[in-house]
Amino acid sequence: MKATVDKDLCTGCGLCVDTCPDVFQMDENAMVAVVKVNEIPAGSVDCAKQAAEDCPVEAIKVS
């Protein structure tokens, strides 16, 4: 599975990084979240989905 962050929607709140730090990290320059892995590790699929659900601006897609 892969995750994506729409950087035009992301507000840089950091919630996804707190929820799933093995998949998301902050891009300090752009002040948005970015996906740090090509494929979501098996053990992080649940938290990646949770992060997508919790993102306040629905910027995260997991599929």
Among 2, 14, 31, 46, binds ligand SF4 (CB under 6 A): 14
26 CB-contact burial (10 Å; exposed 0-12 / middle 13-18 / buried 19+):
middle
Residue closer to ligand SF4, measured from CB, 11 or 41: 11
CB 2 within 8 A of CB 39: yes
Backbone torsions φ then ψ of 38, nearest 5 degrees? -75, -55
The residues in 15-54 that bind ligand SF4, with binding defined as CB under 6 A, are 15-16, 33
> Rule CB under 6 A: is residue 4 a binding residue for ligand SF4?
no
Residue closer to ligand SF4, measured from CB, 9 or 41: 9
